[in-house]
Structure 1
Amino acid sequence: MSIVQISHLTFCYDGSSEDVFTDVSFQFDTCWRLGCTGRNGRGKTTLLRLLSGCLDSGGAVTLGGVRPVCFPFSGFDASLTPETLFTQWVPDVEPWRILCELSQLSLSEEVLHRPYHTLSGGEQTKLQLACLFSSDAVWPLIDEPTNHLDAMGREAVSQYLSSKDGFLLISHDRAFLDSAVDHMLVLERQKLEVLRGGYSTWAAEKQRRERWEAARNAQLKKEISRLDAAAKRAAQWSAKAEGEKFVSKPGQQGNIDRGYLGHKAAKMMKRSKSTEARLQRAAEEKRGLLRDVETSEALRLSPLPWRKSSSLISLEDVVLSYGGRQVCGPVNVSLSPGERMALLGPNGCGKSSLLRAVCEAAGYPQPDGPTLFRGKIQAGSGLIVSMVQQDAEGLTGDIRTFSQKHGLDLTLFLTLLRKMGFERSQFARRLEELSSGQKKKALLAASLATPAHLIIWDEPLNYIDILSRLQIEQLICESGASMLFVEHDAAFVQNTATRILRLSEEGQAIQP
């Protein structure tokens, strides 16, 4: 057991005018299963890099003797076999320990002898985690392991992690966090919070605290208004007292003692100024007590109405292939206006291929899309589609140019980004400089700002923070939009989908 101590940490990237962390202090135990979450851009990955020593903390981080190692590994030759790579990743790893860890993740020994780049994303994730936990000499720092894992893979990895002790895990998957961790580290707007329990424990405590703070803020704002009004009246009395020494009252007889009136006015003005200053100080103190409540504004979506009686799309005995190899089908399904259909199934069963084929049939060409080997895909006449792809890493240029390129209403686009947690200062940055979560938000905001009959999203929540997921859930449920989407966040699917189409490992529709 070791204690990680972070004392008065202030960190800013070179060339940036804004601190990622400002005078932050907290501590935690390395034997905890510590989950970490927070808005995109709040510094979660930066914190991992500070803890691992990839960034200089200026002596603010004390590790207590542990050796941190980050997941995912980087900077290695993916053409090598995992068996060869282990000595690069964790030099002191023992082969028999890796075999034990692989069995807990339901991976066969065979994956050790294949070139790393030939493994699926799920196999690569499980393999790296097995390597990390096969050494007692390291403290794992795990950055978003659920990206591109299917539902079964997430369940397997969450059960695996729940059997371990001593790691820090960044994730935005609510069910995954609840299953895998026993403490939470939450990065909010002005503070960091550490508490015992999983995501649901923190969410319940956050709701209770925000209700109390909202009530407290409302009371403080009333008091501030009252004090501001009182200060304003005091200023008016002061001005009146000063002016009265030069004005004769109607019917006043004889000589006016200007000295006496001036003395009296000066006393009144001094008392009024003192009262005004005291009231202003009190108002400022009340303003300082206003709580930092992390809020998320509701998003808005106005889908194009589909005034026809026909389905938006229909698939009849559809079989898809790549290079003559069948990847999906047969599938028979249709989507009616207002339905939100989730495509579920293991990695590699053809979910993304099916989405691409639908877009192609609707008149939206897809590079490297599948071939319609058999069957028929019918899209409604004049169907307008808005799509978000899995990968957001190819974005370049500035936000305004991106908006023009996609024919978006710039004001609406920026408003959506602001509501999803973008700071105004980030609008001036180039897209390639943003975090993976911020890039994905740019794609989502572009899709939401595009009028469409049908929204098609392929794993839209990869890298997206929990507050934004909740915003998007609410938006989808309230908008009445028609959707076809792939997503492995179980809570999101449960809360948004009106219908589920499951594909088997071979890509066959097993539940229309």
Structure 2
Amino acid sequence: MTAIQINHLSYTYPSQAKPIFTDLTLDLDSSWKLALVGRNGRGKTTFLRLLAGQLGQQAGIKSPLNFAYCPRSLPRDQSAYLSLLGEQDFELWRLEKEMNRLRLSPDLLDQPFGDLSGGEQSKLLLALAFSQRDVFPLLDEPTNHLDAASRQEVADYLKKSRQGYIVVSHDRTFLTEVSDHVLALENGEIHLYRDDFSGYQTSKQHRDEENLARDRQLRREIKSLENSRRQLAANARQAENSIHSRGKIKPDRKAELSDKGFLSKRAAKVMQRSKNVARRQAREEAAKQGLLSNIEAAPRLDMNFKEDYHRELFVGRQLSLNLAGRELFADLDLVLPSRGIVALTGPNGSGKTSFISWLLGRQGLDCRGDWQLQ
């Protein structure tokens, strides 16, 4: 049964001139596990926020459902329980049930929300969204801040859910596991696929290959028309010049062409005929240009790297880091080279984000030991 109806929806941000959506019409079923995909800036988050009513009520959206947008911004200085309760009412036993399925300890509810790791916050908000009755979750990058093990836990959690949802993620493996339908935003168009993300990728690849082959043929035809039009214009100019050049007119036609009025009429006919043909070819070129597919290509990505003469960017000895009285790590010896790529790994809550925040000068983190930062 269709539970979300979108009729002639258009939306443009007040600060922008280009619309995000124009006359969008779509029917969605609340039982679908729908992956919403598209390149950055195509409107994925905007679509979710429109459904959630965060951008004002839209006449083009009709649904009996209550939408729960996840993630949300919650107060950081009070307990996680009070932060969640201030966002919406919930039954504690239902929330703890969903937390248990996500392998979250109930003790997290007593800690300040801001002291939880990014992964713990993401999973806790996910548990809140699925603990509500008559609520349709809108999941915007639910794997942010999650390590590989936690991403798999969330994927397993969503696969077992009987509840439908819309999910946005850049993790392709994750989307394949948790989707049975795909809604793709591509170049101002929207395509619905009744398949998981892997099936969508296969279908899209075939469509793109067909479009590329058609485009190559169209471009060859357009090039041929352009060459023909240029040749026609050159021939017309040559014909006009030959008419006005007495020396090139055959002797038996000199008397016939001695009348200058006749010469100008003939030249006018030749030029008019060439212009008519050129206009026809120009229209045909424009028609073929309109058939070209607007196939998306990945933009070039450049790293803004600046050379540095230091061989080591950071040197630390016997480091320990504490957050709100909780020791994240101790006796750490660490050297970060100025070249290469360093991966900082560890389970959620082990202090990865806190360590980077300390390097960036965030307050509230107590680090002890000897260190030198270039």
TM-score of the superposed pair, with normalisation by structure 1 = 0.61
Verify the 8 A CA contact 1:244 1:265 in the aligned structure 2: no
Does residue 237 (structure 1) correspond to residue 235 (structure 2)? The answer is yes
Give 1:38 deviation, angstroms.
2.4
The residue aligned with 1:98 is 95
> How many residue pairs end up in the alignment?
367
How far residue 279 of structure 1 moved from its aligned partner, in angstroms, is 0.9
Per-residue CA shift, 1:380-420, capped at 9, x if unaligned? xxx7xxxxxxxxxxxxxxxxxxxxxxxxxxxxxxxxxxxxx
Alignment map for 1:275-290 (pairs within 5 Å): 275-290=277-292
Letter paired with 1:100: K
1:224 partnered with 2:222: yes
| Residue 167 (structure 1) shift | 0.7
Q: What secondary structure is seen at the aligned counterpart in 2 of 1:344?
A: coil
1:116-139 Cα distance to aligned partner (Å, 9 max, x none): 445443333223222221223111
Q: How far apart are residue 4 of structure 1 and its match? A: 2.5
* Structure 2 counterpart of 1:33, one-letter code: K
Shift of 1:242: 4.8
Quote the offset at 1:341 in angstroms: 3.4
What is the deviation of 1:217? 2.3
* Partner-residue secondary structure (3-state), 2:282: helix
- The aligned counterpart of 2:42 is 42
Match of 1:403 in 2: none
Cα distance in 1, alignment partners of residues 49 and 285 from structure 2 = 41
Equivalent of 1:134 in 126, 131, 134: 131
Deviations 1:425-472 (A, max 9, x none): xxxxxxxxxxxxxxxxxxxxxxxxxxxxxxxxxxxxxxxxxxxxxxxx
Look up the match of 2:51.
Answer: 51
The match for 1:195 is 193
Distance in 1 separating the partners of 2:105 and 2:352: 25
> Could you tell me which residue of structure 2 aligns to residue 20 of structure 1?
20
The answer as to whether partners of 2:312 and 2:336 remain within 8 angstroms in 1 is yes
Matched, 1:149 2:146: yes
Structure 1: distance between partners of 2:293 and 2:326: 59
Q: CA deviation at 1:157?
A: 1.9
TM-fit CA distance, 1:106: 1.7
Classify 1:41/1:30 alpha carbon distance in 2 versus 1 (closer, same or farther; 3 Å): same
The 1-side partners of 2:71 and 2:355 are apart by 29
Give the match for residue 67 of structure 1. Answer: 66
Which residue identity does 2:208 align to in structure 1?
Answer: E
Partner of 1:166: 164
CA contact (8 A) 1:321 1:371 kept: yes
Report if aligned partners of 2:155, 2:174 keep a CA contact under 8 Å in 1.
yes
- 1:254 maps to 255
Question: What residue number does 1:299 align with?
Answer: 301
Q: Aligned in 2, Cα 1:313/1:178: closer, same or farther, shift over 3 Å?
A: same
User: Deviation per CA, 1:245-302, whole angstroms, max 9, x where unpaired?
Assistant: 5442446443624454444434433332221111111111111111111111443459
Query: SS of the counterpart of 1:146?
Result: coil
Shift of 1:112: 4.0
Q: Comparing 133-142 with 253-262, which one deviates more in the overlay? A: 253-262
Matches of 2:227 and 2:207, distance apart in 1: 30
**1:126 maps to amino acid:** K
Conserved? CA contact 2:50–2:58, under 8 Å: no
For 1:265, the aligned partner's letter is A
Distance, in Å, in 2 between the alignment partners of 1:265 and 1:223 is 30
1:108 aligns with 2:105: yes
Query: Matched residue of 2:342: which SS?
Result: strand
| Residues 225 and 16 of structure 1, relative CA distance in 2, 3 Å threshold | same
Amino acid at match of 1:49: R
Which residue is equivalent to 2:30?
30
Cα RMSD (Å): 3.6
Q: Does 1:371 align with 2:367?
A: yes
Give me the whole-angstrom Cα distance separating, in 1, the residues matched to 2:241 and 2:75: 84
Give the fraction of aligned pairs with identical amino acids, expressed as a percent. 34
Whether the 8 Å CA contact 2:96–2:106 is kept in 1: the answer is yes
Tell me if structure 2 keeps the 8 A contact 1:245–1:258. no
- The Cα shift of 1:335 comes to 6.5
* Consecutive unaligned residues in structure 1, runs of 5 or more: 360-364, 384-512
**C-alpha displacement at 1:331, in angstroms?**
4.2
Q: How many Å separate the matches in 1 of 2:232 and 2:94?
A: 77
C-alpha change, 1:305 and 1:205, in structure 2 (3 Å) is farther
Larger Rg over CA atoms: 2
Q: Give the AA of the match of 1:102.
A: M
Q: Secondary structure at the match of 2:343?
A: strand
Aligned partner of 2:121 in structure 1 is 124
1:153 is paired with a residue of what secondary structure?
helix
In the alignment, the residues of structure 2 paired with residue 299 and residue 114 of structure 1 have an alpha-carbon distance, to the nearest angstrom, of 40
How many angstroms apart in 1 are the aligned matches of 2:326 and 2:128?
Answer: 33
* 88 and 316 in structure 1: CA distance in 2 versus 1, 3 angstrom threshold: closer
Structure 2 gaps, min length 5: none
Alpha-carbon spacing, 1:204–1:378, altered in 2? closer, same or farther (3 Å): farther
Distance 2:335 2:120 in 1: 33
Aligned position for 1:214:
212
The CA deviation string for residues 352-399 of structure 1, in whole angstroms up to 9 with x for no partner, is 465578x7xxxxx8454763426xx688xxx7xxxxxxxxxxxxxxxx
User: Would you say 1:327 and 2:328 are equivalent positions?
Assistant: yes
The residue aligned with 2:274 is 272
CA distance in 2, matches of 1:19, 1:60: 15
Distance (whole Å) between structure 1 residues aligned to residue 48 and residue 326 of structure 2: 42
Alignment partners' CA distance in 1, 2:302 and 2:6? 40
Deviation at 1:101, TM superposition (A): 1.6
